[in-house]
């Protein structure tokens, strides 16, 4: 009993000191209300404008189609010209030019031609990917709710998402819709319903067993179907006041409410909608976080952070006075779709897109009498791919998951990713080249990441491009937390760290590469 009294003493004393509680705390609260906000350290404050620009990019890019369009808008504002990809490049390309083309509206290639470029010179390439794990609407979207009275959508898991993070979030729909125009031609229209029309609700704790609560196991087919609304008579019958029910082998399998929302958003009749490619996304905007705004919280940091920095670096480099005038190489950004599912597609890094782009650009500047095979081989040997995908920052609550000497920190610079089993493309030579570029430009030293021997290792587009083209490559990225969550976190100043390294790559690569006595 005595022990119990001693344990309670501090709490009893605090509870009974009424003067302290009534006057001291209130006085402190009043003073706190009049305090100015925390002053941001200079090393954070100066990086916020770029981070905010990146946040606008993320909010505008809920899917690969929008990510490509947002990037195209940035390029066209910087006087990049869209190529007629099916036409000969010889008549379109010229030294000092700035160009881009897209594939499937979900993959983008943009490049500048140095004014000193000749066929056989190298390509300075930054590669990333536009896709992220998400839930995609199935081809037949209608999901009958039975006796629940709820309207839901059928969705399919894309990539390796942390699907439990999608519960109880405000979800919108985005993607592209195929519409038959008045002239009978089929048009592609981007759509972005940026409000909380969907939600995947958790099961109440009272309806779960203790074992279920502890495991939080979910069935991806049964438990991820989102709510769209409550069933109403016209919606269930598949018609509105303006249109009759349509049975064409596609429309009758779509959720009428979804078609009505799409038609309203696009300003077309539901009968004009022929098909769609849609995915779900969290409508919460990207935000600054932390006591001093040292973090950025957003969806799709993997890998839109790299996409933004790559496009922005090419825009800034190409706009720098004298940069293209002295450039002997091609500076190129390639943003591919389908990385999260292996890159084996017509628009992924495993497609011919990269190899064909290099060959066609070389051919456009090649003399008629040149040995094409020799010229192409020389160009490949002088080229370099900087494959940029996000890296794993050390997690403060799971530090043991990191190899102790290779634990990158947020806001501490970009990360070189290495794996001796070739899950990453980095070699001793390519890692040294990037470190030399950073040193030459006076940038923050790069960090290193190696996965623990008892953990699995992810991969990205670096090994795929390197093995298919023969170009040297390195895998890098900005450190982040919560990779593949619906909402991720990275350092505010790492946008600047990445952007400056990318621009330094375009500016200094040729000089650094030429300092090697042997490139092999």
Summarize pLDDT for 398-408 with one digit per residue, the tens. Answer: 999 999 999 99
Q: Is the pLDDT of residue 5 over 80?
A: no
Helix (H, G, I), strand (E, B) or coil at 74: helix
Q: What DSSP letter does each residue of 393-459 carry, written as one string?
A: PPPTT-GGGS-TTS---TTS--EEEE-TTSSS---HHHHHHHHHHHHHTTPPPPEEEE--TTS----
Separation between Cα atoms, residue 80 and residue 90, nearest integer Å: 17
Q: Is the pLDDT of residue 109 over 90?
A: yes
Q: Is the pLDDT of residue 35 over 80?
A: no
Domain 134-282 is found in CATH 2.30.250.10: yes
Given this model, what pLDDT does residue 76 score?
98
Bridge pairing between strands 391-392 and 415-418: unpaired
Separation between Cα atoms, residue 448 and residue 76, nearest integer Å: 35
Separation between Cα atoms, residue 415 and residue 407, nearest integer Å: 10
Helix (H, G, I), strand (E, B) or coil at 36: coil
Q: What are the tokens at 493?
A: 């100043």
Interval 362-386: pLDDT, tens: 999 998 887 888 899 999 999 999 9
Share of the chain above pLDDT 70, in %: 90
Question: If you search the block for the tokens 């969705």, which residue do you land on?
Answer: 155
Question: Which of 35-44, 65-74, 133-142, 260-269 is the least confident region?
Answer: 35-44
Given this model, what pLDDT does residue 18 score?
40
Interval 439-483: pLDDT, tens: 999 999 999 999 999 998 989 999 999 999 999 999 999 999 999
Given this model, what pLDDT does residue 8 score?
41
Sheet holding 330-336, edge to edge: 81-82, 98-103, 107-113, 330-336, 123-129, 384-388, 472-477, 415-418, 447-450
Which residues make Cβ contacts (< 8 Å) with residue 400, sequence separation at least 6? none
Q: Spelled out in words, what is the top-level CATH class assigned to the domain 43-132+299-514? A: alpha beta
Separation between Cα atoms, residue 307 and residue 61, nearest integer Å: 11
Helix (H, G, I), strand (E, B) or coil at 387: strand
Of the two residues 14 and 488, the one the predictor is more confident about is 488
Question: Which of 58-72, 240-254, 283-297, 338-352 is the least confident region?
Answer: 240-254
pLDDT band at 416 (very low <50, low <70, confident <90, very high): very high
DSSP code of residue 6: H
Interval 186-245: pLDDT, tens: 999 999 999 999 999 999 999 999 888 888 788 999 999 999 988 765 544 545 444 557
Share of the chain above pLDDT 90, in %: 81
Read off the pTM.
0.90
* Domain limits, the chain: 43-132+299-514, 134-282
Longest dimension (CA), the chain: 101
Given this model, what pLDDT does residue 37 score?
64
Separation between Cα atoms, residue 275 and residue 266, nearest integer Å: 13
Sheet holding 227-230, edge to edge: 186-198, 171-180, 273-282, 134-143, 150-158, 227-230
Separation between Cα atoms, residue 448 and residue 413, nearest integer Å: 10
As beta bridge partners, residue 417 has: 449, 475
Q: Mean pLDDT over residues 17-39, rounded? A: 49
As beta bridge partners, residue 277 has: 176
| Sign of the dihedral defined by the CA atoms of residues 490, 491, 497, 503, in that order | positive
Bridge pairing between strands 273-282 and 171-180: antiparallel
User: Residue 331's closest CA among 352, 346, 317?
Assistant: 317
Q: What are the tokens at 104?
A: 């499937």
């Amino acid at each position: 009993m005595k022990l119990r009294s001693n344990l309670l003493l501090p709490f009893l004393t605090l509870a009974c000191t009424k003067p302290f509680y009534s006057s001291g705390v209130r006085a402190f609260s009043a003073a706190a209300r009049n305090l100015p906000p925390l002053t941001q350290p200079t090393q954070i404050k100066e990086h916020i404008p770029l981070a905010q620009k990146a946040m606008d990019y993320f909010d505008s890019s809920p899917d690969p189609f929008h990510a490509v369009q947002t990037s195209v808008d940035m390029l066209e504002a910087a006087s990049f010209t869209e190529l007629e990809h099916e036409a000969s490049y010889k008549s379109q390309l010229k030294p000092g030019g700035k160009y881009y083309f897209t594939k499937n509206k979900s993959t983008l290639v943009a490049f500048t031609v140095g004014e000193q470029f000749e066929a056989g010179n190298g390509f300075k390439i930054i590669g990333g990917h536009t896709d992220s794990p998400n839930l995609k609407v199935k081809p037949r979207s209608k999901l009958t709710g039975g006796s629940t009275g709820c309207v839901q959508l059928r969705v399919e898991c894309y990539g390796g998402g942390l699907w439990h993070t999608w519960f109880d979030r405000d979800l919108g729909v985005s993607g592209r819709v195929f519409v038959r125009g008045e002239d009978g031609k089929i048009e592609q229209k981007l759509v972005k319903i940026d409000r909380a029309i969907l939600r995947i609700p958790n099961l109440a704790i009272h309806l779960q067993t203790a074992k279920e609560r502890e495991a939080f196991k979910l069935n991806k087919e049964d438990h991820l179907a989102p709510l769209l609304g409550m069933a109403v008579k016209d919606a269930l019958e598949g018609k509105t006041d303006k249109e009759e029910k349509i049975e064409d082998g596609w429309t009758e399998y779509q959720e009428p409410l979804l078609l009505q929302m799409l038609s309203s958003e696009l300003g077309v009749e539901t009968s004009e909608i022929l098909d769609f490619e849609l995915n779900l996304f969290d409508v919460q905007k990207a935000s600054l976080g932390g006591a001093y705004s040292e973090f950025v919280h957003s969806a799709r940091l993997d890998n839109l952070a790299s996409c933004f920095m790559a496009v922005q670096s090419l825009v800034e480099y190409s706009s720098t006075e004298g940069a293209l005038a002295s450039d002997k190489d091609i500076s190129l950004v390639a943003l591919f779709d389908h990385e999260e599912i292996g890159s084996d597609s017509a628009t992924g890094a495993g497609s011919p897109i990269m190899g064909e782009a290099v060959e066609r650009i070389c051919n456009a500047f090649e003399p008629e009498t040149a040995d094409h095979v020799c010229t192409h081989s020389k160009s490949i040997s002088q080229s370099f791919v900087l494959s940029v995908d996000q890296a794993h920052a050390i997690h403060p609550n799971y530090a043991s998951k990191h190899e102790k000497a290779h634990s990158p920190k947020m806001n501490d610079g970009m990360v070189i990713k290495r794996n001796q089993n070739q899950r990453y493309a980095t070699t001793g030579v390519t890692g040294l080249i990037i470190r030399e570029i950073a040193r030459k430009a006076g940038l923050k030293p790069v960090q290193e990441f190696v996965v623990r021997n008892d953990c699995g290792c992810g991969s990205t587009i670096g090994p795929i491009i390197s093995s298919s083209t023969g170009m040297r490559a390195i895998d890098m990225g900005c450190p982040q937390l919560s990779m593949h969550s619906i909402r991720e976190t990275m350092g505010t100043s790492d946008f600047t760290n990445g952007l400056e390294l990318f621009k330094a790559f375009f500016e200094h690569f040729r000089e650094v590469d030429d300092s090697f006595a042997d490139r092999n």
